[in-house]
Amino acid sequence: MTLETMPLSKAMNAGLRKAMENDPKVILMGEDIGKLGGVFRVTEHLQRDFGDKRVLDTPLAESGIVGTAIGLAMTGFRPVIEIQFDGFVFPAFDQITTQLAKLTNRHEGRISLPIVIRIPYGGHIGAVEHHQESPEAYFTHTPGLRVVSPSTPNDAYWMIQEAIASNDPVIFMEPKSRYWPKGEVELDASAAPLHASRVVRTGTDVTLVGHGAMVTTLLQAAALAEAEGTSCEVVDVRSLSPVDYAPILDSVRKTGHMVYAQEAQGFTSLGSEIAATVMERAFYALEAPVLRVSGYDTPFPPAKLEGVYLPDADRILEAVDRSLSY
């Protein structure tokens, strides 16, 4: 097994490079992704190595970028789009939800749209308005889109390749606060399938579930809980649509308690849906209601207040205590 230690941003770069080497129809598009290498340098050196016809710097026009990618996909290309920041995706929202998500169904499956839309999302970087949002629920609510989010460099490396290989449009949510911490990447072995949840820490008392950057926070909470005598199992959802419920349900049937944590607002969110589904499918195994820890139902606050807004290990542990006290 070949292991290499790298941050998530470099793992994304390596995964994109591998996909481009394997398929000449894979092209990258986005604002400043070529010569600059993207705001987060995820596409660094790819234009140098593959040329400006495969790594395209586009105008600042997200709707036009997605519309162009749809046309390219119809002619056999596999476009990978970068949206610079989460809050910038909304100018393209109509193209994504009205056209991209519906065209295959509209044509009764006669066309496919193998497009990946990369969206750096979430907080923890002290940015300004429109640069720290968690819009994943908009896309998970839209039939016709696949939505995934890696939490580790290894998952990033493999999941981006699997997303590009998919014949369906994939919204690829990248937790920007995890771009820099390093982790091991298995370069010659595959990760879990693209749409599989995964247990990343075993435990017996409470099931902690989340996605993206929140998985790291859940693991921190689980370590603190263990020091106090509580054993927490942690499940990384990975695929936000479709959701692989089997590992979540198996864990809940073992522990009888579940807490879902996310950076996004709590109202009508992914956490809401997963909590409701678990209570429907594992009701008789639960010893307490499924509890949710989330961002507050307000716009994302100024950077100095993000520590109050975003769930941390203490808020998760408080929910664990409440769950066990029922």
Transcribe 253-268 into DSSP letters: HHHS-EEEEEEEESTT
Number of Cβ within 10 Å of residue 21's Cβ equals 11
Residue 299: C-alpha distances to residues 57, 68, 240, 245 (Å): 31, 31, 22, 30
**124 among known catalytic residues:** no
Cis omega (within 30 of 0) for bond into 242: yes
CA distance linking residue 39 with residue 30, whole number of Å: 11
Cα–Cα distance, 254 to 264 (Å, whole number): 27
Q: How far is CA 290 from the centre of its chain?
A: 22
Instruction: Report the SS3 class of residue 146.
Output: strand
Options 45, 107, 124, 131, the catalytic residue = 131
Q: How far apart are the first and last CA of the chain?
A: 46
Identify the bridge partners of residue 236 per DSSP, sorted by sequence position. Answer: 198, 210
Catalytic center residues:
131
